[in-house]
Amino acid sequence: MDYLELAELLFPNIKKTSADYDKMFPKRELPETAEVLRFAPSPTGRLHMGNLFAAFIPEVFARQSGGVFILRIEDTDSKRALENGTVLILNDLQEYNYKIDEDPIKGGAYGPYIQSERKEIYLAFAKHLVASGRAYPCFCQEEQLEDMRKRQEMKKERIGYYGQYAKCRNLSLDEIKNKLANQEKFVIRLKSLGNFEKKFIFKDRIKGSLELNQNDIDHVLIKSDGIPPYGFAHIVDDYSMGVTTITRDDWYISSVPFHLEIWDALGLKAPKFAHILPICVKDEGIVRKLSKRKDPQAAISYYHEKGIPKTAIMLYFATILNSNFEDWYREYPRSDYHEFNFSFAKMSKSSPLFDLGKLNNIARNYLSSLSAIAVYQQLLIWAEEFDVELYQLITKYKDETIATLNIEREQAKPRKDYACYSEIKDSISYMYDELFYQEKNNDLTKKPFYLKETLEDYLENIYDEADDKETWIKKIKEFCPKYSFCPDMKEYREHAENYVGSLADFCELLRIGATRRTITPDLYEILRILGKEKLKKRFDELCLRNNK
C-alpha cells in the first residue's frame, strides 16, 4: 500500500502538514512548573454548578502555577450547539471572576478556540496518520454497522469495529479508488495496533495508577462530513495549544486507551491526565450525578435569585477540591482562595456530595467577614434585579441601611444572620417604616409588662440618642425599679415574685416596641439608628393596640 498516495487521494485539498502547524503553534515559553489547562464545554447554554466546578479546577491550577487557562468551545456536535452558547458561557465564567487567558472572543496565539473553526487542522493531522499507515478510510454504512452490532450482541462479544469486524481495514488501494470513484461515503478510522487481552499501567493525577486494557478498536477519527468526534479533535487541540494536564469527567477513563493510542500514533508525548469525579446528590438513598433537569440547585440562576455570594460558591468549590483547604481558610480567613496550594493528589477519589447546607454556612461566614459598605453594594446590585421594593428602600435610606448592616459586624465574632442577599430583607425589614407597619404579631399583647406609660416615660424622660452604650445601659438599670423591673439578674432569679419582670424583660419591651420582634441584633444600635421620632410613633402604635 502506498500510504502517501492514499493520503493524497483522501485529502487532495489539504496542503498544510502537521509539521506546518507545529511551526504555527510553537511550544509555549513558560517556566518549567507552569501548567497549561483548559475548560472545554459544548455551547449548549448557560453553565450549571457541575460545569462551574469543572472550570474551577483548571483555573486554580493554572493560576497557582503561573500558567495559562484556556476556554475552548467543543462544538463538533452541531445538533446540541446554541447560536449564542459561547457568549453565555463566557458571561458566566466572567461573572464568577475566572481569569481566562485565551478564549474565542479574546483570541490568542494558539487559536481558533472553537472547534468548528479548526477543521483544516484536524484534517492535516488525519492526513498525517493515513500517510504513516496508522489510519484508513472505512466505507461501511450504518446498516452494515448496525448488523455488526447485533451479531456481536448475539455472540456476547465486545461491541466495536475491531478484528474480523473491521471489514475495510485491509482494502487495497485499487478497491479504495473504486469506492471513491463511485462517490461512496467514508469515515477515517484509526488503525489500532493494540491487543485487548494485554494491560498497561496508566497514571492519573487524582486516582493514581490504574490498570487498563489496551485499545484494539478502530475508532472513527473523521466523520463522513469531515468533522472529527471528540476523541480525535481534543487531542489535536490539546497538543497544538500546549496543554500540560487534561482535566475531564471521570467517565472518560474508559476512553484513555484509545486516546493514548492516538497520541502514540501521532508520535507525540501525551500530557498528564486528571479524571474528576462529578458532584453528586443523594436522591432517596441513591447517589447520582447532580442534574440540571432534576435538581433546581444545579442551575446557576438558582444562586443568582437567592443572592448567594459568588465568592462563597468559589470557597465551597475549594473545600470540595481539597479537604485541607478548610483548615487553611480558618487560619487565613481574609485570604483569596487562589493563595492556597491546591493539589491533585489530595483530591477525593470518591464523588463529592453536594451540600447546600455547607454552602449556606460558608456564605454566612463570608458575608459576616465583609464590611457593611461591601455588603450594601452587593445587596444593591442583587435587589435591583430581584427585589425592586428593597432596592428603592435601601437607595432611599442608604446611610441607615449601611448602619444597620454594620450592627455587631466590626467585632471578633460578627453576627451571621443571613447566608444570601435574599434573606437580608426579612432580617432587617423592621428598620423601614414602609415594611414595619405591614408586619403583624398577634402575640405582642400577652405579657403584663407591655405598658404604654412605661415606654412613654422612658422615651420622653430617660432615653437620649447622644448617650454611649455604657451610659444607655446605666440609665436603663436606674429606670427599671420605677416600674417594678429588677435591674439585677441574680436578685431577680432569687426573688422573681417581687417584680413584674427583669432587666432582660424591660429590654424585651423596648425591643418589641421598636421592632415587633423578640430577637434582633444589638438593641442600643437599633434604637440609635431609628431615632426618637420613629420610636415614639412605634411605641404609640404598640400601646394603642395593647389597650384595645
| Residue percentage of the chain with pLDDT more than 70 | 97
CB atoms inside a 10 Å sphere around CB 519:
8
Instruction: Give the lowest-confidence range in 45-54, 172-181, 304-313.
Output: 45-54
Q: What is the mean pLDDT of residues 74-92?
A: 81
**pLDDT the model gives residue 445:** 57
Give mean pLDDT, residues 308-332.
96
Q: Of residues 404 and 283, which shows the higher confidence score?
A: 404
Q: CB–CB of 382/269 below 8 Å?
A: no
Confidence bin at 393 (pLDDT 50/70/90): very high
Q: Is the pTM of this model over 0.85?
A: yes
The model's pLDDT over 100-110, given as tens digits with 9 standing for 90+, comes to: 999 999 999 99
What is the overall mean pLDDT for the chain? 94
How many whole angstroms separate alpha carbon 50 and alpha carbon 247? 13
pLDDT digits (tens, 9 = 90+) for 123-161: 999 999 999 999 999 999 999 999 999 999 999 999 999
Mean pLDDT score, 74-98: 84
CA distances for 388 relative to 264, 273, 335, 415, angstroms: 60, 48, 33, 26
Residue 446 confidence (pLDDT):
67
- Inform me whether the pLDDT recorded for 48 exceeds 50: yes
Query: In angstroms, rounded to a whole number, what is the distance separating the alpha carbons of residues 426 and 436?
Result: 10
Predicted local distance difference test score (pLDDT) of residue 80 = 64
Joined together, the cell numbers standing for residue 29 give: 515559553
The pLDDT, as a whole number, for residue 349 is 87
Separation in Å, CA 170 to CA 11, 149, 175, 463, 466? 19, 20, 10, 99, 96
Q: How confident is the model at residue 81 (pLDDT cuts 50, 70, 90)?
A: low
- Joined together, the cell numbers standing for residue 326 give 478548610
Q: Give the per-residue pLDDT at 235.
A: 98
CA dihedral sign, ordered 57, 62, 63, 64: positive
| Domains along the sequence of the chain with CATH | 3-13+121-276 (3.40.50.620), 297-368 (1.10.1160), 372-424 (no CATH), 452-546 (1.10.10)
What is the rounded radius of gyration, in angstroms, for the C-alpha atoms of the chain?
34
